[in-house]
Amino acid sequence: MAQTPLAKRIWYLHPYVLPADLLSDEPTHDGDPSSLRADASCEGTCYARVLRAFGDGTYQTRVAATPGFNPHQEGYTLVLTEAQLSQARPWNPCVRAA
């Protein structure tokens, strides 16, 4: 059975849980020791909202450290591949991580 393409299965603007190691740990600027991973994750987890598919297997997303962020005003823009998004799980506020 053929699987539906990710672009048709994804819930756009819905928060997804991702492992924070997908985010860069490199400093953002010279003289600024912060990193995307430090700023947009908490306890090894980040949250992403998919904004659009580019049609080439990549997706524009916004990522943040909390699931309730407004992707139009908060978070960081990131382009993720289908392989990276395959690690994402829809965020469910009723389920707590073990």
Which tokens in the block code for residue 1? 């059975």
Q: Report if residue 16 sits inside a domain.
A: yes
- Per-residue pLDDT tens for 57-74? 999 999 999 999 999 999
Number of compact structural domains in the chain = 1
For residue 96, being part of any structural domain is answered with: no
Find the DSSP H helices in the chain: 6-9, 36-39, 82-85
Query: Residue 25's domain spans which residues?
Result: 6-90
In a domain, 58, yes or no: yes
Report the C-alpha gap between 61 and 80 in whole angstroms.
7
Q: 97 has which bridge partners? A: none
> Does a structural domain hold residue 95?
no
Q: For residue 98, is it within any domain?
A: no
Residue 68 placed within a domain: yes
Report pLDDT digits (tens) over 7-66: 778 899 999 999 999 999 998 778 888 899 999 999 999 999 999 999 999 999 999 999
How far apart are the C-alpha atoms of 50 and 54, rounded to whole Å? 11
In a domain, 39, yes or no: yes
